[in-house]
């Protein structure tokens, strides 16, 4: 199934991650539920500078990913030649330019062609333990 959407909360998390990493680039992999990008996968050993980000895909657990996301602190949200090589790892590749707002990102296919990704509300399923599970049973 082709990825055509991104969860609003996921996009906001990506934008905040890019802001927090500035002036260094931010980079991660994208995970989708059906046709909606829902999560990012930040891999151990990811190395970022003000000019580039290197993601060690050999650290990826045995799981499928939908594409990549990375920031361009320069503000230019278009792929470079190096980005086009990086894009081969996924179906959808997002570049977020400074100032990291909902107006400063673009999505691209593997060939570097701009594609439209719709921002949607998405109801996340509770995938983890509840706070009560972490605290144990009440003594009371």
Q: What is the 3-state secondary structure (H, E, C) of 81-118?
A: HHHHHHHHHCCEEEEEECCCCCCCEEEECCCCCEECCE
Looking at domain 5-53+63-114, its CATH architecture is 3-Layer(aba) Sandwich (3.40)
Q: Do residues 69 and 80 make contact, with C-beta atoms less than 8 angstroms apart?
A: no
Q: Give the residue numbers marked as catalytic.
A: 25
| pTM confidence score | 0.82
How confident is the model over 59-92, as pLDDT tens digits? 566 667 899 899 999 999 999 988 898 888 789 9
């Amino acid at each position: 199934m082709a990825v055509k959407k991104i969860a609003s909360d996921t996009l906001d998390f990506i934008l905040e991650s890019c802001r927090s990493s500035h002036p260094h680039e931010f980079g991660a992999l994208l995970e989708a539920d059906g046709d909606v990008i829902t999560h990012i996968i930040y891999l151990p050993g990811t190395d970022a500078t003000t000019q580039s980000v290197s993601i060690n895909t050999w650290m990826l657990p045995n799981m499928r990913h939908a594409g990549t996301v990375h920031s361009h602190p320069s503000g230019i949200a278009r792929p470079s030649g190096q980005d086009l090589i990086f894009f081969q790892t996924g179906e959808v590749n997002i570049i977020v330019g400074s100032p990291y707002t909902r107006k400063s990102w673009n999505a691209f296919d593997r060939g570097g062609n701009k594609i439209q990704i719709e921002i949607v509300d998405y109801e996340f399923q509770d995938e983890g333990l509840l706070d009560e599970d972490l605290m144990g049973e009440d003594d009371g």
